[in-house]
Amino acid sequence: MFTYKRRVKYYETDRMGVVHHSNYLRIIEEARMVWCDENIMTYKEMEKRGCIIPAASASENFLSYLRFDDPFRIEVKLIDFQGIKMTFSYKIFNENTEELCYTGESSHFFAKDCGNEQYLPYISFRKDFPEQYKKLRELAAESK
């Protein structure tokens, strides 16, 4: 499991003073990108090599609220990797109270970067990124 920490930014909150629900997807994306940087390679390097990682699905459960300047941590876990597709789970905790505020999952696939085309062909991650493929297999096995 990977842990990412930071504080709630003012712009992430709504008129009620809590993190707006739409920002949780951005927050988990930020944590996932740092996870990728530390476990696979930087997203920028992947794009240079012609690979993008679009989202296939996302689900969320809002359990409590985070407010402006609350410190929080996100626990990111790769829970499945099938060579083409990978699925992550997320838990967000308020660092002051240890309260679980959010749980979610997202699935992503590896695709060839074809510019603005609507069709995104899958990429052979095993063939084109063998070292990273091996690392993802190991990380997925650890989470079971």
CA 136 to chain centre: 14
User: pLDDT band at residue 34, thresholds of 50, 70 and 90?
Assistant: very high
Structural domain total, the chain: 1
Domain residue limits at 121: 2-142
Torsion of CA 116, 120, 124, 125, to 10 degrees: 70
Q: What CATH number did the domain enclosing 75 receive?
A: 3.10.129.10
pLDDT per position as a tens digit, 57-91: 999 999 999 999 999 999 999 999 988 899 999 99
Residues assigned a catalytic role: 14
Element of type H or E holding 93: strand 85-94
CA neighbours closer than 13 Å in the CB half-sphere of residue 54: 13
Rounded Cα–Cα distance for residues 109 and 34 (Å): 17
Q: What are phi and psi of 32, to 5 degrees?
A: -65, -40
> In the predicted model, what is the mean pLDDT of residues 19-26?
95
Indicate whether this model's pTM tops 0.85. Answer: yes
pLDDT of the residue at 45:
93
Please determine, for residue 2, whether its predicted confidence score (pLDDT) is greater than 90: yes
